[in-house]
Structure 1
């Protein structure tokens, strides 16, 4: 949903100093470079970055596996050498079938002698899917379907490798691999009523998980969620194409409405006994994380109140269901959920991140929840916990310590000493995949305008072992195109707030000319569209589209307003309970700042965005109508009353408690102020930000007698993709910019 771009200046030999109007040799070289086309970006693999597909660490951190042309192979980390073929493509061919399985995923059991292969995956929502799973036994080289009862979800080996648990039809099942006998863990699942072992829509979307069960470390128990969504209102979405449209109905709790009542249970595999965990008497709450600790029979359940300003960690006895609160993390506004909770080997301590001192930092606690020590401190944020080495006591984490625009890998000892940066010196962004034993890590490094470099590195030093992919072919391709230069800048608003921004200029930028400017906005809580990575904070395709517009004589700018991420709790939470007000002011301040620059045509400033950015665009075009000549709003929320409980109430409270927070910054309330040219885009099959939002805004514009253009995509979801959809959409948006800015 977020989009950002950067200049590929480092790739372009022709990009030198600012060019003069006369035909210099530099300009002549630039003129020989190719111009981008929409087809290059969306229908051809011209700019497709290479990666390391199917990469998985093996138990011994000296090896990793990868899928290569349908074959699963093992590599040695230190040399990258292929050591052996683990499973050949021919071994993945079922009797009577003409071709091997088209594998789209795999996972090992604990001793790596059995492998689950996935094929025919069918996406459901953002993270959920169903697929056909097959078990491959490396001992007898036999391939066996996991189940004959229909496609499964989230099939997972037990730690001892004897069983596989999975979901189907809102229930949980377990298969004994010795006999391939399947047993139902639950039988109560009913569509649109009760879900076992999988997340409901709002948990999947806002708490970022779909699998709702997990094995105990000793393989004796399965903990699982149950979602009773019988009281959650249904959303009715039309599916177009047949003689009569079909109804697609699903449970979607809008702000202020009823949520699922969520419970947690533990199932003992040997006895078939199920124990319900005590999660408290209040059914109107969230249980956003569930995991086993390293202590025997002890479950960890995170509990969050409906307003999401009080997070509690519960430890529960899975054999009795009894629980106790061991840690509470509270905030005057809201507490964000992360995956940073780590239980350390030995079952005596755990790591947890909190922003109680104003920034997200790492803390060590004993199992009673008592704090042992704060491990990191400073006016910067940890963004991920990557691993822990029990032998040395080092915790590995990614942070924005160098700059809010960057991410790098560090480590610190649980003693609180020995903090060390492991990423190479210099700017950019590192995305880390650490081996289970922390001896090595896969590092994907990118910087503004540069394709990613994927390398293997030593865990203790960060030293390069081997470069796996440097994207040299893509670099050569990009060097053939006339691409502009992106600069990171900052400016102060009229109230003294410092904001980060990026500016993408044409390669032949002339400071004596006046350029139209298109601003790109997302602006939602905790987000960033100004970052030192390949796209400068946005997707590579949107970056290239911005480059295409730059080639046509535009400057593209993005501003991270108040409420965005990596600058601490106060900067992010200042928008609490009044979502949209300060963000719109800051985007307006950005337009005013640009208008003061001598090379900007202040009468030709436009704005565009998608999702939260579409909301921001609609709000900017109405509340800041005198600043923007043109706007494109894609898949926008136009009234927060139409959006889901978890996201909306986290930042606005409920509409019953805070009606002004919902209405005072709804574009629907300000449609009468619209002055510029406005394009509204939405997919009718958007299960996330419902088409209802655009209908409401269109109705308001009609009542206000305002001119607008609309572009609707039948049955497309929030991403508005599929077939020629992206090409068509961006052609329309390009034409709209060219005609109106």
Structure 2
């Protein structure tokens, strides 16, 4: 028996808003950010535990605020009054460990998702003096030594060292770095993208050694993207003839970078190779300093990514001792790497070894002290371990997969929610865990930023976004509802639905389904950031104005429900996900207010893959679909991501070759629009090129849009507005 459960979250607010029947949303309003909520960014908790720093709204200052009151208490940096070098705007900043200096980031230029070059300046707080970090060109990932007297950074794949006590004397630590061959101290493309990191370099606790990961990518095969003159920005160097961009990109089963760890003794200038026990195809996804100069944590992972080892390396002897080995069924999630916390005396490790992402506390020698959480809920973020009290702070979903609360696990075993309010909460804690900034929202309320004590008591409100709520009250907005239903296979799925403001239960509406559906992802959360364009499902609200009902359902393989639900798609990505999206359409078609013959589906990236898989699943439930920047065969995607879920093509040929849109081109049903950026460094245009050729040979009609010089985000100038309009026009042409 199929069940529907509609939650009553903010229904009264939604009804009140829809009843006001006012202004109409436009696409240009959405793409220009007219409905973007206020937020707080670049918050840096300071060492005193009582204050935090933040860049001012005009980008000219770095301001300090009290954690207790939220009020401004000082200015760390002011571009208008600083002596020495002149800068126009602050893009970012790094505080020295001793609190006497700042590294000011300017002139930032993106490379890939997380990497960038920038021009950095050293600012002395005491002397109010600003001076360049280096005159040799832009820098990457500068790191302060623990004593605050040295800065290491990367330029052109080599590591450099600046000694602040010696008139900022600069020396070169490595000299073998070369584009598309050797990288020192920063990750290669696939490490950056799939292990979520942009730095691979640390100082030891005594500031005497630098350790880094060296990536030899000389044997990795390369990919080239053609670039044109284009507009916004214009590449004048390609005015007559196109150029290309070539970089190393390993695909499943092919050669990855050979990684090694090295140390540099700053006093003796001696370089040593660290003796990391490493298989020929193993990864080194992280390197982290500890409080002990004789111990640097080096994390390794096998190619299947189901075994994580943490070694303690001695930089002088080069010996590595195994501290922790974590073995998990199928694969270890990449989020674990960012959430591993190293304190002065402990290692806090997230692990799914018992079927749910829980926390385990070790000492620095690798002795397991205790499992911190045993309940059947998922830890979503780790904020830290308080050495003084033994309390552990984290975010989890004890009340259900669509919720998230900030929580504390006390040393005595008691676990409690600090933010019990329904919705999704995140936190930024002070250095001493005495306070935290709580960022809360739900499906009907934009983000509220409040400061709380570590017992959850609210002290003050920083932002409540009442202006946005008042603005939205003037618009004709539909009702948002969360629901669950059970498929014909007995699988319960979570979803949300947005209905038009003038919804009439006696009418039948066309439906547009949005989804992503990739491993561990979640779109269905009781939070403001819903939908294709976020901001309270604002793009879905626009579609509701056009007469659609909008629906999103998290299929099998998505996160928040434990390892069994998430990892059931292992080795056959796309099969169960598409089945669940088809089941969603069938369930919707049984609702009296839905026209079952006018259901569309769309998604971006994995959501584009899922769109194509769903439209060719075999049951013809979708009349139209839009796939944006989709993978179409996992043989074309990168090694680390794909093998985590699929192993290699040699080990899993059927999973790669039978379960993909190209293999199912003959089954495509419905009017398809496929969109791709020609300079997509993540999901290459190759995916769309090969897929549409398969459609041509299968004699299937489709429409294709390509975007000149655009990457995976397909933005810049008027691009995003154009993309959305084409997608919506496609639905209007086929569903109305």
Tell me the TM-score normalized by structure 1: 0.94
Whole-angstrom CA distance in 2 between matches of 1:120 and 1:320: 40
Q: In the alignment, is the contact (CA less than 8 A) between 1:65 and 1:74 conserved in 2?
A: yes
Whole-angstrom CA distance in 1 between matches of 2:532 and 2:734: 24
The answer to whether residue 15 in structure 2 is matched with residue 36 in structure 1 is no
The answer to whether residue 476 in structure 2 is matched with residue 482 in structure 1 is yes
Aligned counterpart for 1:418 among listed residues 390, 411, 414: 414
Q: In the alignment, is the contact (CA less than 8 A) between 2:476 and 2:501 conserved in 1?
A: yes
Equivalent in the alignment of 1:310: 307
Aligned residues: 714
Call closer, same or farther: CA 1:430–1:726 in 2, change over 3 Å: same
Instruction: Using the TM superposition, give the Cα deviation of residue 198 of structure 1 relative to its aligned residue in structure 2, in angstroms.
Output: 0.4
Q: In the alignment, is the contact (CA less than 8 A) between 1:152 and 1:168 conserved in 2?
A: yes
Equivalent in the alignment of 1:166: 153
Equivalent in the alignment of 1:66: 54
Aligned counterpart for 2:597 among listed residues 603, 626, 646: 603
Listed as ranges, the matches of 1:630-669 within 5 Å are 630-669=624-663
Whole-angstrom CA distance in 2 between matches of 1:106 and 1:124: 19
The answer to whether residue 228 in structure 2 is matched with residue 240 in structure 1 is yes
Whole-angstrom CA distance in 2 between matches of 1:65 and 1:371: 36
Equivalent in the alignment of 2:234: none
Equivalent in the alignment of 1:549: 543
Call closer, same or farther: CA 1:246–1:142 in 2, change over 3 Å: same
Provide, for residues 444-495 of structure 1, a one-character-per-residue CA deviation record: whole Å limited to 9, x for no partner.
1111031101111112x11111111111111111111111111111111112
Q: In the alignment, is the contact (CA less than 8 A) between 1:528 and 1:537 conserved in 2?
A: no
Whole-angstrom CA distance in 1 between matches of 2:67 and 2:214: 41
Instruction: Using the TM superposition, give the Cα deviation of residue 146 of structure 1 relative to its aligned residue in structure 2, in angstroms.
Output: 0.4
Whole-angstrom CA distance in 2 between matches of 1:499 and 1:587: 10
Instruction: Using the TM superposition, give the Cα deviation of residue 271 of structure 1 relative to its aligned residue in structure 2, in angstroms.
Output: 1.8
Listed as ranges, the matches of 1:170-209 within 5 Å are 170-178=157-165, 179-209=167-197
Provide, for residues 111-153 of structure 1, a one-character-per-residue CA deviation record: whole Å limited to 9, x for no partner.
2221110100000000000000001112222110000000000
Aligned counterpart for 1:359 among listed residues 356, 359, 376: 356
Q: Any gaps of 5 or more consecutive residues in structure 1? A: 1-5, 17-25
Listed as ranges, the matches of 1:109-258 within 5 Å are 109-178=96-165, 179-241=167-229, 242-258=239-255
SS in 2 for 1:667: coil
Call closer, same or farther: CA 1:7–1:103 in 2, change over 3 Å: farther
The answer to whether residue 526 in structure 2 is matched with residue 532 in structure 1 is yes
**Larger mean Cα displacement after TM superposition, 71-80 or 717-726:** 71-80
Whole-angstrom CA distance in 2 between matches of 1:659 and 1:160: 53
SS in 2 for 1:107: strand
Provide, for residues 240-270 of structure 1, a one-character-per-residue CA deviation record: whole Å limited to 9, x for no partner.
1221110110000011110000111122222
Whole-angstrom CA distance in 1 between matches of 2:489 and 2:544: 31
Q: In the alignment, is the contact (CA less than 8 A) between 1:8 and 1:483 conserved in 2?
A: no
Whole-angstrom CA distance in 1 between matches of 2:676 and 2:619: 22
Equivalent in the alignment of 1:344: 343
Equivalent in the alignment of 2:395: 398
Equivalent in the alignment of 2:320: 323
The answer to whether residue 629 in structure 2 is matched with residue 627 in structure 1 is no
Instruction: Using the TM superposition, give the Cα deviation of residue 539 of structure 1 relative to its aligned residue in structure 2, in angstroms.
Output: 4.3
Instruction: Using the TM superposition, give the Cα deviation of residue 12 of structure 1 relative to its aligned residue in structure 2, in angstroms.
Output: 5.1
SS in 2 for 1:623: coil
Instruction: Using the TM superposition, give the Cα deviation of residue 92 of structure 1 relative to its aligned residue in structure 2, in angstroms.
Output: 4.3
Whole-angstrom CA distance in 1 between matches of 2:43 and 2:645: 37
Q: In the alignment, is the contact (CA less than 8 A) between 1:286 and 1:306 conserved in 2?
A: yes
Call closer, same or farther: CA 1:536–1:66 in 2, change over 3 Å: same
**Larger mean Cα displacement after TM superposition, 469-478 or 528-537:** 528-537
Q: In the alignment, is the contact (CA less than 8 A) between 2:575 and 2:613 conserved in 1?
A: no
Equivalent in the alignment of 2:232: none
Call closer, same or farther: CA 1:106–1:344 in 2, change over 3 Å: closer
Equivalent in the alignment of 1:432: 427
Whole-angstrom CA distance in 2 between matches of 1:238 and 1:7: 49
**Larger mean Cα displacement after TM superposition, 538-547 or 165-174:** 538-547
Whole-angstrom CA distance in 2 between matches of 1:86 and 1:598: 61
RMSD across aligned C-alpha pairs, in angstroms? Answer: 1.7
Whole-angstrom CA distance in 1 between matches of 2:358 and 2:727: 42
Call closer, same or farther: CA 1:597–1:154 in 2, change over 3 Å: same
Whole-angstrom CA distance in 2 between matches of 1:284 and 1:377: 34
Q: In the alignment, is the contact (CA less than 8 A) between 1:449 and 1:536 conserved in 2?
A: no
SS in 1 for 2:654: helix
Whole-angstrom CA distance in 2 between matches of 1:11 and 1:118: 43
Call closer, same or farther: CA 1:10–1:275 in 2, change over 3 Å: farther
SS in 1 for 2:481: strand
Whole-angstrom CA distance in 1 between matches of 2:567 and 2:315: 37
Whole-angstrom CA distance in 2 between matches of 1:534 and 1:647: 28
SS in 1 for 2:433: coil
Call closer, same or farther: CA 1:268–1:709 in 2, change over 3 Å: same
Equivalent in the alignment of 1:23: none
Call closer, same or farther: CA 1:286–1:53 in 2, change over 3 Å: closer
Call closer, same or farther: CA 1:706–1:636 in 2, change over 3 Å: same
**Larger mean Cα displacement after TM superposition, 549-558 or 54-63:** 54-63
Aligned counterpart for 2:698 among listed residues 690, 704, 709: 704
Equivalent in the alignment of 2:257: 260
Instruction: Using the TM superposition, give the Cα deviation of residue 188 of structure 1 relative to its aligned residue in structure 2, in angstroms.
Output: 0.7
Provide, for residues 383-407 of structure 1, a one-character-per-residue CA deviation record: whole Å limited to 9, x for no partner.
1110222221111011111211111
SS in 1 for 2:641: helix
Whole-angstrom CA distance in 2 between matches of 1:110 and 1:8: 45
Whole-angstrom CA distance in 2 between matches of 1:628 and 1:451: 32
Equivalent in the alignment of 2:585: 591
Whole-angstrom CA distance in 2 between matches of 1:639 and 1:344: 42
**Larger mean Cα displacement after TM superposition, 447-456 or 73-82:** 73-82
Whole-angstrom CA distance in 2 between matches of 1:550 and 1:150: 51
**Larger mean Cα displacement after TM superposition, 67-76 or 175-184:** 67-76
Equivalent in the alignment of 2:268: 271
Q: In the alignment, is the contact (CA less than 8 A) between 1:7 and 1:484 conserved in 2?
A: no
Provide, for residues 634-691 of structure 1, a one-character-per-residue CA deviation record: whole Å limited to 9, x for no partner.
0000010000000001111100111100011110111122231100000000000000
Whole-angstrom CA distance in 2 between matches of 1:366 and 1:34: 59
**Larger mean Cα displacement after TM superposition, 535-544 or 349-358:** 535-544
Whole-angstrom CA distance in 1 between matches of 2:536 and 2:689: 26
Instruction: Using the TM superposition, give the Cα deviation of residue 334 of structure 1 relative to its aligned residue in structure 2, in angstroms.
Output: 1.0
Whole-angstrom CA distance in 2 between matches of 1:154 and 1:369: 29
Call closer, same or farther: CA 1:738–1:9 in 2, change over 3 Å: farther
Q: In the alignment, is the contact (CA less than 8 A) between 2:186 and 2:198 conserved in 1?
A: yes
Listed as ranges, the matches of 1:285-300 within 5 Å are 285-300=282-297
Instruction: Using the TM superposition, give the Cα deviation of residue 180 of structure 1 relative to its aligned residue in structure 2, in angstroms.
Output: 0.8
SS in 1 for 2:488: coil
Provide, for residues 155-202 of structure 1, a one-character-per-residue CA deviation record: whole Å limited to 9, x for no partner.
122121101111000011110012110011111101000000000000
Call closer, same or farther: CA 1:624–1:506 in 2, change over 3 Å: farther
SS in 2 for 1:526: coil
Equivalent in the alignment of 1:370: 367
The answer to whether residue 451 in structure 2 is matched with residue 456 in structure 1 is yes
Equivalent in the alignment of 2:330: 333
SS in 1 for 2:88: coil
**Larger mean Cα displacement after TM superposition, 363-372 or 60-69:** 363-372
